[in-house]
Structure 1
């Protein structure tokens, strides 16, 4: 009777034993072993895709899979099936070989889907020229200009219709990956995407979508840019020169007053500007966004005189209000001090906070206010702030004084100790606003006066829509019966949008608030500098502390292996050993457990140029030298002093030497030679089986993958050969226009082929199609290492570039994750089980690995 197979993990196919392979139950009901769950990619924060049903499920963070429950039933079944009483003595079970699970060089930072969605929003590093400007800079006091020459290769140039030397504004949204004391330097794109991936809400995506709308009166957002000086990541936004305060700063008495030239009311100017303001706010609402708090600074004039909402300024203003309220509450011990602080800040910044939003801020500062709890922040909050902006344009400075009285209504420290009558105080303030309007305005403004007072209702649900305010202002210059051009805006459902003010980008991180509290406690008398350069970071992203320390705190470590007397020419692993060859004519054997030196193979009379390991019939290390000698070393315990076999190529007086070696897995050894040929040697009797010709110069590199032998040559081409009969399949690069550049190294994995050239160019092929060509190094690329999605290249410029190959059936893209700076030329690379071995020209082998 055949026994059922024990339950096994769907990823590594190993049976559950409760020790090395422990089943953990996911939220969908399926199980996988704890080891595999740690290695599964996370397409979104705190989620993984179930390997059984492919459903996205929650992943415990930061505890990891150990926080998931064990599948006791599977463990019990596995133990029963492995019990000796249930074993068939005639057919004992065969030991199951452990399947190798790809180990990441560094942990996954983001998913492929995330990269595809956001890669085009990364502003190139050299696309901005940043100048310090205390006069017109935003929170970061930076003034940026788009460099025209950098836009040619920028994918956003068409979508954003940018011009060279265009002014932009920058607002910091987070800090990039810190690299103090780290061997690994993250790439520019990785720094930006890491900040994006750490964001938890949809605010930035909605902002980018809104800025791209053709009908939206919102300043364009070009993307995100990382400043190389402070490693901060910034939103890059279009910046117009015509700010409201610059244009109307001298209009102390508002628009509606006697004109000095003719004594007439300036009704037309107010109506035109007021309509534009309403249209820009309505456009923001139509994109599912609302500011929550508008300020005079939030609006700018474009080159055609139209009003736009500056999203960067809105974010800076939101952060400034957060900071203002926090400082006022923490720094004022009495009601009068808090009132004066809030009033002074409001009078200088002209930022208008609606009652429900102010209640929200006070509650977030641990001040419980029941009066505003029933009102939610929504589109109506923008209506309230919009009315305040229009009233400031109408009345001028007297309205700023009224705003100080407004804040007096909501000071959370009562004078009598019994609580404040918020509703009563607010009604008194409304009466003062009405009286001021009646004194200032004439009869033709009565409808506008009523609708503006309606916008200031305490209950957001009682306030009119933005379109109603727009219509009322329009009637000042066009009477209703003649207004045939008006088009009604589509209705917007209230309280369904996303609030910029309460979003992640606008709020100070908790650590910043703690620092702020400490500063205020130590020095309550310190004067608050409320200018626009005061806030130096907005919406710093909260990330897992352990992960950041692991990625950036020097946890990509390095070990030096020394012993060779000349340049390292090759690296290979097998049988638990690392084998290194050198121009010093020796092969060194190192332990992969503790990297100690175990043995040295000597015997070559020329420089060793290539090395491979095979374990087909017996474990062998094979090395080839520049004189055409092929030495086969037996891997036994103890190691022998002499090779078990020596092979020699037939010498040619013009060309000589072995330049590359490869093992087929079918009993053949392949050599790439200086005589332009590839030779196949039988590993059974060590005879020469066949010679493959076709290259026009030295065969410099070989690779075997999926039944295909790849050969690269100094003639600039790569030839493909069938392993079964050694027949030619195709030639890559033969039709490539331009100068011929030698192929120095190549690597194949799956259906991807990476070819490195002498001029620093790297090309990625799939079958016979060139998918990508990029300048990867400043100089020759001497070595390429690839396993799974990890791609490593190194060469003359003394830098190891680490890239991630991501793609689907339509294409492959190489994403640069970072680099490792070296002190010498890189001559050979090998990636094995999460460790990167780097052979250098200075005779040192560097071993890089991620871990504690």
Structure 2
């Protein structure tokens, strides 16, 4: 004997866990399923048996009467069975799958915490020497994320800088479906490459694990006005570059031959601050690969820190200058290399030799003299750091003049000889500036400019040399402390990463993404097509009742319906071609059979299976038809599919699956 069961979850009623509740239409379903049915209107649900809208009490399913007659037919369950049934009972899945999931839950959890609310940032002014604003300045107001895992906490208004990362999805006021602000940000992040996202995570986390030596990172902010996603970082109120240059101009350091002790101590204080900021970057697994004084800023406590947004802007300038100098060449000589270095110095961007050669290699440019590429590690930054210090002492004009050693270098020399000759000239300038009194410092600076990174000292060793200028080791209580040396190379070099791009390349990429044709956009992704409003429909009229199934075969679209017909439509112009009639009951499903003679097979609620030929001309009568044995208590066929082994599979209301041979119309039954 078969026991009554819930038509939704198919659980047998037991009177305890699965209790039948009677609806106004007379049908019954278990209370748990009725609670989970969607309410189209307030306190109204659709009966799962007859689909009629019925009232549902606000108190829940417990307010509906129990179906006592069904409970009398239920089997008596033991206590153990009842406990196991309660344990196995699972809530219904509320995700009905109308649209595909755009990103994983893990992706959402990782990136949602970095998204600043749209109203939290206001732009005050823009920086940029061309049509593309490289840096925006603004303020971030009070932000307090309710999620405990969020690192974003802003208790008061802060001055911030913003650098463009990537474009947001195309905004269209006529869109049928529109992304929310958070969804737009997550979508453009999901379209980044894995390497780009990993680099962005490193930068974001560097700003919250900095120890005060790396500018604070607040997160990511989408500007709906210009359609771009920005990296938001803290920015000091004081302009460090302007303040240091004013100090140098006041003391006239660059024009002096020799510096007194007070001037050297002031210079050493600046150098120590810069060294500590670079060491903090290395401790976070990041190296920069180039430096300029603008890459640093002063925080509210007067300490110098690395300004990540300025680093990204300066990195873009480095790439732009390099490409603009070498143009479309595949090879350059030493003279052209000197011109490139000179152009970079004019921009106050100091790039270490190994990083510059690596950048040229990435652009497909090699040196005619040939050279071996050195590995890029933490010691690339000490070369750039020393040149920042030399630019303060000597001035960038003096450094450019030292490149005159190119005339003395033979064309057959390699790159290391070129740099060696240049460093000799720089050393001569240092001798004139520092004299013999600071010979140990001059030696440390020259060693830091070695062409081979392995022969350069660590940043902490350079810091010790400057510390001696402030206080002698005998009077330094902390001189015996062992300062940390990060002997492991940084996991990532920013200038060699993907986030530092040429502005015009960035814009072209964004325009290519947002200016695709409607056809390309819709083909790319159905959800993208909906979001930008590129949704068109055409009414195909022909059925007189509910449409129950679709199948595409060849150049046709076939549809089945409760009106007992199968219709054929053209996929070219969506016109109606033919009507297959013959079913005596409602048609529930159909399949396409791609054999030598293509066929369309349909099934109905009465158990009838009809095989139609779709060879031209289309015929009215079926090639073959047969009926499965049908129990009067159940409906006929509800599901239909076909496999390449020549069998047709049907699923019916009697809970069985049957396999039919199309050639023999024989039956295998799977109960």
Counterpart residue number, 2:499: 505
Residue 432 and residue 350 in structure 1: after superposition, are their counterparts in 2 closer, same or farther (change >3 A)? same
For residues 564 and 280 of structure 2, the distance between their equivalents in structure 1, rounded to whole angstroms, comes to: 67
Does the 8 Å contact 1:255/1:394 carry over to 2? no
Does the 8 Å contact 1:146/1:163 carry over to 2? no
For residue 295 of structure 1, report the CA deviation from its aligned partner. Answer: 1.2
Residue 216 and residue 263 in structure 1: after superposition, are their counterparts in 2 closer, same or farther (change >3 A)? closer
Residue 548 and residue 357 in structure 1: after superposition, are their counterparts in 2 closer, same or farther (change >3 A)? farther
Q: How does 1:177-256 map to 2 (within 5 A)?
A: 177-179=169-171, 183-197=176-190, 198-201=192-195, 202-213=198-209, 215-250=211-246, 251=248, 256=253
Aligned equivalent of 2:484, options 487, 490, 496: 490
Question: Match of 1:109, SS?
Answer: coil
Aligned equivalent of 2:313, options 298, 311, 316: 316
Aligned equivalent of 1:305, options 302, 305, 310: 302
Counterpart residue number, 2:353: 355
Q: Which deviates further from its counterpart, 135-144 or 367-376?
A: 135-144
1:469-508 residue CA offsets vs partner (Å, 9 max, x unmatched): 1111000011112222254333323434211111111134
For residues 223 and 404 of structure 1, the distance between their equivalents in structure 2, rounded to whole angstroms, comes to: 42
Residue 196 and residue 125 in structure 1: after superposition, are their counterparts in 2 closer, same or farther (change >3 A)? same
Question: Match of 1:131, SS?
Answer: strand
Residue 230 and residue 514 in structure 1: after superposition, are their counterparts in 2 closer, same or farther (change >3 A)? closer
Q: How does 1:233-632 map to 2 (within 5 A)?
A: 233-250=229-246, 251=248, 256=253, 265-330=262-327, 338=336, 342=340, 345-369=343-367, 371-402=370-401, 404=403, 419-486=412-479, 487-508=481-502, 512=505, 549-550=524-525, 551-552=527-528, 557-559=535-537, 575-576=548-549
For residues 218 and 567 of structure 2, the distance between their equivalents in structure 1, rounded to whole angstroms, comes to: 50
1:500-555 residue CA offsets vs partner (Å, 9 max, x unmatched): 1111111349x929979xxxxxxxxxxxxxxxxxxx99xx9xxxx87994354558
Aligned equivalent of 1:126, options 107, 119, 123: 119
For residue 422 of structure 1, report the CA deviation from its aligned partner. Answer: 2.0
Question: Match of 1:225, SS?
Answer: strand
Does the 8 Å contact 1:244/1:299 carry over to 2? yes
Question: Match of 1:186, SS?
Answer: coil
Does the 8 Å contact 2:135/2:161 carry over to 1? no
For residue 271 of structure 1, report the CA deviation from its aligned partner. Answer: 1.4
Does the 8 Å contact 1:256/1:441 carry over to 2? no
1:601-656 residue CA offsets vs partner (Å, 9 max, x unmatched): xxxxxxxxxxxxxxxx9999xxxxxxxxxxxxxx999xxxxxxxxxxxxxxxxxxx
For residues 246 and 425 of structure 1, the distance between their equivalents in structure 2, rounded to whole angstroms, comes to: 33
1:72-124 residue CA offsets vs partner (Å, 9 max, x unmatched): xxxxxxxxxxxxxxxxxxxxxxxxxxxx9x99555443211111111110111
Question: Match of 1:142, SS?
Answer: strand
For residues 279 and 523 of structure 2, the distance between their equivalents in structure 1, rounded to whole angstroms, comes to: 41
Does the 8 Å contact 2:114/2:152 carry over to 1? no
Counterpart residue number, 1:625: none
Question: Match of 1:480, SS?
Answer: coil
Counterpart residue number, 1:659: none
For residue 158 of structure 1, report the CA deviation from its aligned partner. Answer: 7.7
Does the 8 Å contact 1:123/1:225 carry over to 2? yes
For residues 338 and 237 of structure 2, the distance between their equivalents in structure 1, rounded to whole angstroms, comes to: 33
* Structure 2 spans left out of the alignment, 5+ residues: 1-92, 515-519, 551-561, 577-584, 589-603, 607-632, 635-671
Q: Which has the higher helix share?
A: 2
Does 1:167 find its partner at 2:159?
yes
For residue 162 of structure 1, report the CA deviation from its aligned partner. Answer: 2.2
For residue 231 of structure 1, report the CA deviation from its aligned partner. Answer: 1.4
1:647-689 residue CA offsets vs partner (Å, 9 max, x unmatched): xxxxxxxxxxxxxxxxxxxxxxxxxxxxxxxxxxxx99xxxxx
Does the 8 Å contact 1:274/1:470 carry over to 2? yes
For residue 153 of structure 1, report the CA deviation from its aligned partner. Answer: 4.9
For residues 98 and 566 of structure 2, the distance between their equivalents in structure 1, rounded to whole angstroms, comes to: 16
For residues 446 and 565 of structure 2, the distance between their equivalents in structure 1, rounded to whole angstroms, comes to: 82
Does the 8 Å contact 1:335/1:415 carry over to 2? no
For residues 189 and 253 of structure 1, the distance between their equivalents in structure 2, rounded to whole angstroms, comes to: 50
Residue 430 and residue 557 in structure 1: after superposition, are their counterparts in 2 closer, same or farther (change >3 A)? same
Counterpart residue number, 1:747: none
For residues 536 and 181 of structure 2, the distance between their equivalents in structure 1, rounded to whole angstroms, comes to: 23
For residue 132 of structure 1, report the CA deviation from its aligned partner. Answer: 3.5
For residues 203 and 254 of structure 2, the distance between their equivalents in structure 1, rounded to whole angstroms, comes to: 38
For residue 175 of structure 1, report the CA deviation from its aligned partner. Answer: 1.3
Does the 8 Å contact 1:342/1:404 carry over to 2? no
Question: Match of 2:366, SS?
Answer: coil
For residue 324 of structure 1, report the CA deviation from its aligned partner. Answer: 0.7
Does the 8 Å contact 1:120/1:156 carry over to 2? no
For residues 587 and 269 of structure 2, the distance between their equivalents in structure 1, rounded to whole angstroms, comes to: 86
For residues 573 and 338 of structure 1, the distance between their equivalents in structure 2, rounded to whole angstroms, comes to: 75
Does the 8 Å contact 1:132/1:141 carry over to 2? no
For residues 397 and 366 of structure 1, the distance between their equivalents in structure 2, rounded to whole angstroms, comes to: 29
Does the 8 Å contact 2:291/2:350 carry over to 1? yes
For residue 189 of structure 1, report the CA deviation from its aligned partner. Answer: 1.5
Counterpart residue number, 1:67: none
1:736-761 residue CA offsets vs partner (Å, 9 max, x unmatched): xxxxxxxxxxxxxxxxxxxxxxxxxx
For residue 363 of structure 1, report the CA deviation from its aligned partner. Answer: 1.4
For residue 311 of structure 1, report the CA deviation from its aligned partner. Answer: 0.6
Residue 503 and residue 619 in structure 1: after superposition, are their counterparts in 2 closer, same or farther (change >3 A)? same
Residue 162 and residue 424 in structure 1: after superposition, are their counterparts in 2 closer, same or farther (change >3 A)? same
For residues 482 and 563 of structure 2, the distance between their equivalents in structure 1, rounded to whole angstroms, comes to: 80
Residue 383 and residue 188 in structure 1: after superposition, are their counterparts in 2 closer, same or farther (change >3 A)? same
Q: Which deviates further from its counterpart, 106-115 or 251-260?
A: 251-260
Residue 334 and residue 219 in structure 1: after superposition, are their counterparts in 2 closer, same or farther (change >3 A)? closer
For residue 129 of structure 1, report the CA deviation from its aligned partner. Answer: 1.0
Question: Match of 1:491, SS?
Answer: coil
For residues 566 and 262 of structure 2, the distance between their equivalents in structure 1, rounded to whole angstroms, comes to: 87
TM-score (ref. length: structure 2): 0.58
Does the 8 Å contact 2:298/2:304 carry over to 1? yes
Counterpart residue number, 2:70: none
Residue 154 and residue 327 in structure 1: after superposition, are their counterparts in 2 closer, same or farther (change >3 A)? farther
Q: Which has the higher strand share?
A: 1
Does the 8 Å contact 2:161/2:234 carry over to 1? yes
Tell me the number of residue pairs that the alignment of Structure 1 and Structure 2 aligns: 453
1:43-71 residue CA offsets vs partner (Å, 9 max, x unmatched): xxxxxxxxxxxxxxxxxxxxxxxxxxxxx
For residues 288 and 419 of structure 1, the distance between their equivalents in structure 2, rounded to whole angstroms, comes to: 38
Q: How does 1:627-666 map to 2 (within 5 A)?
A: none
Does 1:142 find its partner at 2:136?
yes
